[in-house]
Amino acid sequence: MTETHSNAYASVVGALTASEAQDFERHLIECSACAEEVMDARAIASALSTTVAVNPPARLRGSVLASIAHTPQEQIATVTALPRSETVAADRSSRRNRATSLLAAAAVVAAVGFGGWAVQLGQDASDSQQAADVALSQRAKLASLLTAADVQTAKLASLLTAADVQTAKLASLLTAADVQTVSGRFISSDDSGAVVMSEERQMAVLVATGLPKLPEGKVYEAWTVKGDPAPAGIFTSDDSDAVVELSDAAFDADSIAVTIEPAGGSPKPTGDAVFDVSLPPA
Amino acid sequence: MSVSAPISVHELAPLMAAASHGDEQAYAQLYDATSRNVFGIVLHVLRDHSQAEEVTQEVYVEAWRLAKRFDSTQGSVSAWLNTMAHRRAVDRVRSAERRTQREHRHFEFQSDNVAADPAELVVATDEGRRVRRALAQLPEGQRTAVELAYFQGKTQREVAEHLQVPLGTVKTRIRDAMQRLRKQLGEAAS
């Protein structure tokens, strides 16, 4: 049992320092056993509050209700279900599901990362505390998602949490009001991919799962296609999953394609596309 | 203000769902059903009436703002609110302690008496009595560890120092205490 692992119950009764709590939150993303334990124990900790119940002063009720009357409610990002394409045969539905759950995981991980990130900003700021509270519920969701989902999802989770900056950016993308998702499939393999974009946030990413490992000296290269393809980013298949930020040209492009190129990438595609999705007209 | 017919915990989830779609009346009912626990734990940790009011207000405004994030499959409405309230209260106590420690190096946090204003007497509810009985049945070392942490907002290291036992012992006591409580309180505790 690691030091962090043994902190599950202490976290529930609030006995961790801010930095211990932060470490533990990261740990929870990967440890479904702890996540479950915490969820269970939290109900017990919550019950402890009934032993010290005190009626609040009557004025507080009025004050709370007056405040909420002009407090807008956060509209939660819904992860767009991948559109059903007629060209996708029924036997590929499992892949589609995987891509969907992957994106859902990305959204949740992004939210979790966001919480941890906000906590770092200031331990005294109540807003950051709130972000941590939110991360708590998101984390629980992630835990159940991860235990249900496949290894790919878990890998993406660790991929995303590894880089806070990227996570924060993804969070912002996935919560954009105009976020759009277009799914596609890699040719002659088991892979699925999706392009997620938001003009409002000026961000477009390609999410790919189950990529085959490329031979030494080869990379995947993404292209924005409008007339001639333009380079949009290079990635490798080390972890079989990839989240690639695409160039701004993605917003004007008719489609996004991926080819296999020599290391370092090419200015023009040299092979056939292994992935190609048409983007809806702007 | 309290409601005449108490709302059972099982009716809270639908109220929360309505509140998440902007139903202020549902939220008022939710407040009536939950605020004594929220205010109670905040007051108990902070031991300052006006700060407790402030934090309780913050909790309910934030819970309203983030109502759509509540997920009933991940725990009860009470657990969600109480967790949020407890964390905020503990956070505030700690930042106050940090400030005070900077000013007076030998500050001791006095926490053995809840403010004894008769208007603030703890409300004896059935569940409260049940949980209190379960707490009382814990071995003393376990009970003290949980009380110092949960009700006084101490970190596990502070609890270890206070009780003069190793950190590992504190972790074990807290874990054992929570597991025993769970066994005693069973499903109804959530």
Q: Counting beta carbons within 10 angstroms of the beta carbon of residue B136, is it exposed (0 to 12), middle (13 to 18) or buried (19 or more)? A: exposed
The closest CB to that of A60, out of B56, B122, B127, belongs to B56
Site from B46, B121, B137, B171 to mutate, A interface, most A CB atoms within 10 angstroms: B171
Token couple for B33: 């059903």
Quickly count: other Cβ atoms within 10 Å of residue A81's Cβ. Answer: 12
Helix (H, G, I), strand (E, B) or coil at A63: helix
Give the C-alpha separation, A281 to A252, whole Å.
Answer: 9
The CATH number, out of the four listed (3.30.565.10, 3.40.30.10, 1.10.1740.10, 3.50.50.60), of the domain defined by the range B1-106+115-123:
1.10.1740.10
Q: Could you tell me if A152 and A240 are in contact, meaning their C-beta atoms sit under 8 angstroms apart?
A: yes
Check CB contact under 8 Å for B178 and A6.
no
Chain B within 8 Å of A2 (Cβ-Cβ)? no
List pLDDT tens digits, range A14-69: 999 888 888 888 888 778 888 888 888 888 999 999 999 999 999 999 999 999 99
Can you give the length of chain A in residues?
282
List pLDDT tens digits, range B100-114: 766 654 444 444 444
Task: Mark out the alpha helices in A163-263 (DSSP H runs).
Answer: 164-174
Alpha-carbon separation of residue A63 from A66, A69, A222 (angstroms): 5, 10, 54
Question: Which residues of chain A are within 8 Å of residue B3 when distances are taken between CB atoms?
Answer: none
Alpha-carbon separation of residue A170 from A29, A158, B145 (angstroms): 17, 14, 41
Domain extents in chain B: 1-106+115-123, 124-190
The closest CB to that of B65, out of A61, A74, A136, belongs to A74
Query: Is the pLDDT score of B55 beyond 70?
Result: yes
Token couple for A133: 């509270």
The chain B residue lying nearest A43, using CA atoms, is: B190
Domain extents in chain A: 1-48+95-175, 177-282
Confidence of residue B6 (pLDDT cuts 50, 70, 90): low
ipTM over 0.90: no
Question: Which residues of chain B are within 8 Å of residue A52 when distances are taken between CB atoms?
Answer: 40-41, 43-44, 114, 122, 128, 151
Give the C-alpha separation, A2 to A17, whole Å.
Answer: 17
Quickly count: other Cβ atoms within 10 Å of residue B126's Cβ. Answer: 9
Query: Is the pLDDT score of B38 beyond 90?
Result: yes
pLDDT tens over chain A, length 282 residues: 456 767 889 999 999 988 888 888 888 877 888 888 888 888 899 999 999 999 999 999 999 999 999 898 887 543 333 333 322 333 334 444 444 545 555 554 444 433 322 222 222 334 444 444 544 444 444 443 333 333 344 444 444 444 444 555 666 666 666 766 676 666 655 556 777 777 777 778 887 766 777 888 888 888 998 888 888 888 876 656 677 778 888 888 888 888 888 888 888 888 788 888 888 776
Check CB contact under 8 Å for A58 and B1.
yes
Q: What is the DSSP letter of A264?
A: T
Give the C-alpha separation, B101 to B122, whole Å.
Answer: 30
Residue of B41, B78, B76 lying closest to B56 (CA atoms): B41
How many CB pairs below 8 A link A and B?
Answer: 219
Q: Could you tell me if A60 and A161 are in contact, meaning their C-beta atoms sit under 8 angstroms apart?
A: no
Give the C-alpha separation, B81 to B34, whole Å.
Answer: 8
Check CB contact under 8 Å for B27 and A134.
no
The chain A residue lying nearest B120, using CA atoms, is: A54
Check CB contact under 8 Å for B68 and A136.
no
Give the C-alpha separation, A109 to A167, whole Å.
Answer: 8
Helix (H, G, I), strand (E, B) or coil at A211: coil
What is the reported pTM?
0.57
User: Beta strands of B31-190 (E only): which ranges?
Assistant: none
Taking each continuous run of H as one helix and of E as one strand, the counts in chain A are 8, 8
State the helix-helix crossing angle for A58-69 and B24-46, rounded to 10 degrees: 130
Check CB contact under 8 Å for A14 and B24.
no
Q: Could you tell me if A235 and A257 are in contact, meaning their C-beta atoms sit under 8 angstroms apart?
A: no
Give the C-alpha separation, A36 to B73, whole Å.
Answer: 12
The closest CB to that of B71, out of A40, A72, A141, belongs to A141
- Does domain B124-190 correspond to CATH entry 1.10.10.10? yes
A187-216 burial: b if 16+ Cβ within 10 Å, else e: eeeebbbbbbbbeebebbbbbbbbbeeeee
- The predicted structure's pLDDT at residue A170: 65
Question: Which residues of chain A are within 8 Å of residue B189 when distances are taken between CB atoms?
Answer: 43-44, 46-47
Pairing of strands A192-198, A203-209: antiparallel
Site from A50, A61, A139 to mutate, B interface, most B CB atoms within 10 angstroms: A50
Token couple for A1: 């049992």
| Chain B closest-CA separation from residue A160 CA (Å) | 21
Q: Could you tell me if B84 and A49 are in contact, meaning their C-beta atoms sit under 8 angstroms apart?
A: no
Confidence of residue B40 (pLDDT cuts 50, 70, 90): very high
The closest CB to that of A15, out of B20, B56, B159, belongs to B159
Quickly count: other Cβ atoms within 10 Å of residue B130's Cβ. Answer: 17
Return residues 126-155 of A near B (CB < 8 Å). 126, 129-130, 132-134, 136-138, 140-141, 144
